[in-house]
């Protein structure tokens, strides 16, 4: 019996997970929960491949994954069965059979992440898992002006986690296609689309932009930090819970 390749679009609240990637128990991960659900449905030891790893506490509105199976179940049945077996903080939005050449990680062309900041003194009782509360005044115009230098193909080594050892990330050159910063009421959202991201790249960029917004870093700082290609030049990493994987394009 030939194997089918099934593509999933997944939404999750990453608060109570140790990220996407399968780990040694008792660490709870998104990949583990989906593979457990698929095992119950197909009675196979299915390996689920995601478009990329999200860290502990990071959320997703449009994570993409794929798996291969001998099962002949219709995709509509997979959708219902997965959501029945998965915990409430993971939801499969779409199930689609695709060509066997499809690979959730290697076929991806662009990804979009959004980081949300609650810029007020009082915390949010309802959204605290999904926004980073930053109580100090921010000059959003300065943040927007400085962030323009990040668009394009360049070396983002200054915003790559200093302890990265992955061979896949030996090159720190990435292309940022779009970066926007929007303020609506007390909420500030930074949305960035790129052909790929270094480990903790978005959170390190956000941490640096916050220092620009408060005036801790002067005009022109972001370009100088980028040119140094040194993580020590940038600011501290913004917390994980403000970050969300919005979309993956193929």
- Residues in CB range of 52: below 8 A, 6 or more apart: 20, 105, 108, 111, 197, 245, 248
Strand partners, 192: 113, 179
Whether residue 240 is found in the same domain as residue 136: yes
Q: Which residue has the tokens 């960035």?
A: 192
Domain limit, last residue, from 42, 74, 98: 98
Whether residue 145 is found in the same domain as residue 91: no
Please tell me the predicted confidence (pLDDT) of residue 162.
76
Whether residue 136 is found in the same domain as residue 244: yes
Whether residue 43 is found in the same domain as residue 90: yes
Residue 103 lies in a domain: no
Whether residue 241 is found in the same domain as residue 118: yes
Q: What gap in Å lies between CA 156 and CA 173, rounded to an integer?
A: 6
Domain limit, last residue, from 52, 69, 98: 98
Please check whether residue 8 is in contact with residue 24, taking contact to mean a CB–CB distance below 8 angstroms: no
Whether residue 39 is found in the same domain as residue 83: yes
Low-confidence ranges of the chain (pLDDT < 70): 1, 163-169
Residues catalogued as catalytic: 55
CB-CB neighbours of 139 under 10 Å? 12
Whether residue 83 is found in the same domain as residue 125: no
- CA dihedral (207, 213, 218, 223) in degrees, to 10, reads 50
Whole-angstrom CA distances from 126 to 138, 171, 174 are 23, 40, 35
Whether residue 189 is found in the same domain as residue 122: yes
Pick the closest to residue 70 from 50, 45, 98, 93 (CA basis). 45
Q: What gap in Å lies between CA 240 and CA 129, rounded to an integer?
A: 10
Please check whether residue 11 is in contact with residue 88, taking contact to mean a CB–CB distance below 8 angstroms: no
Output the domain CATH number for residue 47.
3.30.70.580
Residue 31 lies in a domain: yes
Please tell me the predicted confidence (pLDDT) of residue 163.
66
Does residue 3 sit in helix, strand or coil? Answer: coil
Overall domain count for the chain: 2
Output the domain CATH number for residue 245.
3.30.70.660
Contacts of the segment 173-177: beta carbons below 8 A, 24+ positions apart: 174/198, 174/201, 176/150, 176/151, 176/152, 177/110, 177/151
Please tell me the predicted confidence (pLDDT) of residue 1.
67
Structural tokens at position 160: 């790559």
Whether residue 203 is found in the same domain as residue 229: yes
Q: What gap in Å lies between CA 123 and CA 132, rounded to an integer?
A: 9
CB-CB neighbours of 121 under 10 Å? 10
Domain limit, last residue, from 65, 98, 131: 98
Residue 127 lies in a domain: yes
Q: What gap in Å lies between CA 20 and CA 4, rounded to an integer?
A: 23
Residue 105 lies in a domain: no
Q: How far apart are the first and last CA of the chain?
A: 28
Whether residue 162 is found in the same domain as residue 40: no
Strand partners, 152: 176
Residue 134 lies in a domain: yes
Residue 104 lies in a domain: no
Whether residue 26 is found in the same domain as residue 121: no
Whether residue 69 is found in the same domain as residue 133: no
Domain ranges, residue 148: 110-249
């Amino acid at each position: 019996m030939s194997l089918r390749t099934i593509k999933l679009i997944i939404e999750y609240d990453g608060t109570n997970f140790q990220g996407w990637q399968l780990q040694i128990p008792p660490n709870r991960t998104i990949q583990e929960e989906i593979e457990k659900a698929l095992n119950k449905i197909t009675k196979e030891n299915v390996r689920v491949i995601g478009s990329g790893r999200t860290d502990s506490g990071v959320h997703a509105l449009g994570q993409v994954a794929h798996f291969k199976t001998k099962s002949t179940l219709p995709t509509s049945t997979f959708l219902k069965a997965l959501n029945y077996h998965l915990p409430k903080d993971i939801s499969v939005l779409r199930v689609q059979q695709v060509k066997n050449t499809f690979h959730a990680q290697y076929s991806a062309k662009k990804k979009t992440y959004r980081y949300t900041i609650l810029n007020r003194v009082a915390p949010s009782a309802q959204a605290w898992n999904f926004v980073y509360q930053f109580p100090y005044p921010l000059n959003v115009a300065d943040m927007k002006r400085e962030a323009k230098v990040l668009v394009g193909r360049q070396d983002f080594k200054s915003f790559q986690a200093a302890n990265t050892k992955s061979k896949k990330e030996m090159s720190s050159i990435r292309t940022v296609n779009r970066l926007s910063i929007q303020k609506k009421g007390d909420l500030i959202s930074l949305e960035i689309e790129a052909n790929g991201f270094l480990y903790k790249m978005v959170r390190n960029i956000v941490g640096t932009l916050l220092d620009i917004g408060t005036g801790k870093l002067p005009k022109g700082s972001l370009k100088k930090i980028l040119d140094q290609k040194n993580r020590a030049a940038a600011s501290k990493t913004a917390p994980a819970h403000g970050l969300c994987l919005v979309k993956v394009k193929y």
